[in-house]
Structure 1
Amino acid sequence: MKSTLIILGSIFTLFSFLPLIRTPLWWIRVMDFPRLHVAIFLSIILVAYASLFGVHGPIEIAMLTIWALAILNEIRYIYNFTPLAKVEALRTEQEKPNSSFTMMMANVRMVNKKYQKFLDVVLKEDPDMLVMNEPNQAWHDNVCEELDKRYPYSIKKPLENTYGMLFWSKFKLHDSEIRFNVEDDIPSFYTVVELPDGKKFDLFTVHPQPPRLMLNTETREAELLLVAKESKKTAYPSVVAGDLNDVAWSNTTKLFKEVSGMIDPRVGRGFYNTYNAHIPVFRYPLDHVFYDPLFRLVSLRRLSKFGSDHFPMTITLNYEPKHEEKQVHPHADIEDKQEAEELIQEGLEKGEERNREKQEQTKS
């Protein structure tokens, strides 16, 4: 029993400190996700060891101290997403927000066939805009007729590789583009949304690849940071939404916020975990929306599941440019910008390599 606790404590301590290494290696980056779980498990192990065997001598003191530091290391990442932290995104002070919009985001899971159940959620919520990640042609064919009736504007790119994307809007869209920023078969959308009162904002929807077995994260980092840079240069305030395949507390997400200057409505409010809907114990916030501080938050909700391994989310924002300075938002310093450029270059090179590999596989 004692040896088992020591081994488990050492493993979870390694899980805590490994992500401090700045590397795109998948087996390290995947450790960004279970910060809360590692903290809980390691706390249980520490308490169990101290209760059962006590603390005798400098070696055990050092071991338990390291375990405690590993727990604190995990907590410092997730603390901002608890109600104990200061709220980053302020709520609107208008009783009746007069320049607001509601957006729903949903990773539908390509192999999920519960089309009508998904439509029932959409029709019940009746959002002004809908972002769908992972739709293939079957999803397009099963929801398009109903959604086209309700949404006059859309951007569509269904794919069979789990990276398809569909977008519908009640509001006018301008300069819409389907972009392939890093990899030839992973799209992102860009459009300018015109609200009913004539105000406009830029919308970027993204769904980069996650870290998984033998797949590192260079292209994910490049995709997100390219969007961060682009959003900073546009003429209108920006919103970025979608399944980012990254957790809210990762260094990549932090760098994205610093480069873009956007804020996260979950800070100070909660995790709003969206994945995995099928496994209650292991859930992480993978579906995100970040936005310019010119907007104020009206509401943020996680919706009921509909068969996908992701929960859908809905957010309502109000355009309030007069109070921008009241919302403290991140800024990038020279080192942040340099790091972002290096990650973008590394990701673009890896993207070109993967594109060549896919082309060769297609030819063969």
Structure 2
Amino acid sequence: MAAAFINEIIHVYRFTIFSPVQALRSRIKAPQNSFSIMISNVRMSNTRYDKYLKVVRETDPDILLINEPGHKWAQEIAVLDNTYPYSVKCPLDNTYGMIFYSKFKIIKKEIRFLIEEGIPSFYSLIELPSGKRFDFFTVHPQPPHLNKNTDTREAELLLVAKEAKESPYASIVAGDLNDVAWSYTTNLFKKISGLLDPRIGRGFYNTYNALVPFFRYSLDHIFYDPAFRIIRLRRLPKFGSDHFPILIRLNYEPLEADEHEVPVADADEEAEAQEMIDNVLEE
């Protein structure tokens, strides 16, 4: 028990400003392959569409991921089609809808239901104006429930982790993971995928619960390949949802990728991840 508690404290400590950063900052003064991503769980029952659109207009992200939009949300924010020529849309009235907008060309897009019906995830291949391409995976697995274990959530995340690792393109995974950044599953995801966590060494950037000031933690995440360098990371103002939006600006710098210390899974962790996936797929 004591050992587990100490281990948890160590994992949490890594998300303080006293710990070394994992994701290195770009040193380029005029980055040519930079772009911004905004992610937000809008909360399907939230009707402050105007406040959300105000945050989007003021932030003006290049890529916009929306978790939990129902059909009403899709209708009320359709004006974004005028700003974002590319999109992937799967609004659902079960709190697992997803919409993705991009100013950049989407070369390939897929709406997948990897583990459970009614819970989509997206895969997109995005092309920057320079012609450079990267994978963008978006997820929103089920949260833990009193009468339901977390097996399906873990399996979905680990499936995406393997896809990101095996892709010939640099990958970004973003969304509401319904899990904190320092959990065992999230750490295993990062080791299997080899993706970086920009929060490490910078702060918690808690996104939930926006409605309860003294009870907040990080559920909304952006993980990315070492080929990217961070320029900026910040939490955005609340807009009526129980989640804060979060914004990150990255620059594609593949020649500098080796300077990062990349999380790596050992043989036991690889086997454990595969077993967790197989157990769910075989049910």
TM band (smaller chain): over 0.9
Which of the two has greater strand per residue?
2
Of 118, 121, 131, the residue aligned with 2:55 is 121
Q: For 1:338-353, what aligned pairs fall within 5 Å after superposition?
A: 338-349=271-282
Name the aligned partner's letter for residue 176 of structure 2.
Answer: D
Of 269, 273, 276, the residue aligned with 1:336 is 269
Matched, 1:246 2:165: no
Note the residue ranges of structure 1 that are not aligned, 5 or more in a row. Answer: 1-16, 18-65, 351-364
Matched, 1:110 2:44: yes
> Residues of 1 paired with 2:251 and 2:105: CA distance?
17
> Residues of 2 paired with 1:73 and 1:262: CA distance?
21
Give the match for residue 11 of structure 1. Answer: none
Name the aligned partner's letter for residue 217 of structure 2.
Answer: Y
Q: Cα distance 1:341–1:298, how it changes in 2: closer, same or farther (>3 A)?
A: same
Matched, 1:86 2:20: yes
* Shift >4 Å, 4+ stretches: none
Q: Return the TM-score normalized by structure 1.
A: 0.76
Which of the two has greater helix per residue?
1
Q: Tell me, what secondary structure is at the counterpart of 1:253?
A: helix
Give the match for residue 231 of structure 1. Answer: 164
Q: For 1:171-250, what aligned pairs fall within 5 Å after superposition?
A: 171-250=104-183
Matched, 1:309 2:229: no
Matched, 1:323 2:251: no
Q: CA deviation at 1:73?
A: 4.4
Which has more radius of gyration?
1
Kindly indicate whether the alpha-carbon contact (under 8 Å) linking 2:120 and 2:140 is maintained by their aligned counterparts in 1.
Answer: yes
Mean CA deviation greater in 340-349 or 106-115: 340-349
Q: Tell me, what secondary structure is at the counterpart of 1:81?
A: coil
Kindly indicate whether the alpha-carbon contact (under 8 Å) linking 1:221 and 1:347 is maintained by their aligned counterparts in 2.
Answer: no
> Residues of 1 paired with 2:24 and 2:163: CA distance?
24
Kindly indicate whether the alpha-carbon contact (under 8 Å) linking 2:70 and 2:91 is maintained by their aligned counterparts in 1.
Answer: yes
Q: CA deviation at 1:349?
A: 3.9
Kindly indicate whether the alpha-carbon contact (under 8 Å) linking 2:108 and 2:126 is maintained by their aligned counterparts in 1.
Answer: no
Give the match for residue 26 of structure 1. Answer: none
Kindly indicate whether the alpha-carbon contact (under 8 Å) linking 2:106 and 2:125 is maintained by their aligned counterparts in 1.
Answer: yes
Matched, 1:96 2:30: yes
Q: Cα distance 1:234–1:72, how it changes in 2: closer, same or farther (>3 A)?
A: closer
Q: CA deviation at 1:173?
A: 0.1
Q: CA deviation at 1:88?
A: 0.2
Kindly indicate whether the alpha-carbon contact (under 8 Å) linking 2:125 and 2:133 is maintained by their aligned counterparts in 1.
Answer: yes
Give the match for residue 9 of structure 2. Answer: 75
Q: CA deviation at 1:70?
A: 7.3
Kindly indicate whether the alpha-carbon contact (under 8 Å) linking 1:240 and 1:289 is maintained by their aligned counterparts in 2.
Answer: yes
Give the match for residue 70 of structure 2. Answer: 136
Q: CA deviation at 1:72?
A: 3.7
Q: Tell me, what secondary structure is at the counterpart of 1:155?
A: strand
Q: Return the TM-score normalized by structure 2.
A: 0.98
Post-superposition CA distance 1:289-340 (Å, at most 9, x none): 0000000000000000000000000000000011111110111221111000
> Residues of 2 paired with 1:129 and 1:287: CA distance?
15
> Residues of 2 paired with 1:349 and 1:175: CA distance?
29
Please tell me the root mean square deviation across aligned C-alpha atoms, in Å. 1.2
Post-superposition CA distance 1:194-249 (Å, at most 9, x none): 00100000000000001122121000000000000011111210000000001000
> Residues of 2 paired with 1:180 and 1:71: CA distance?
36
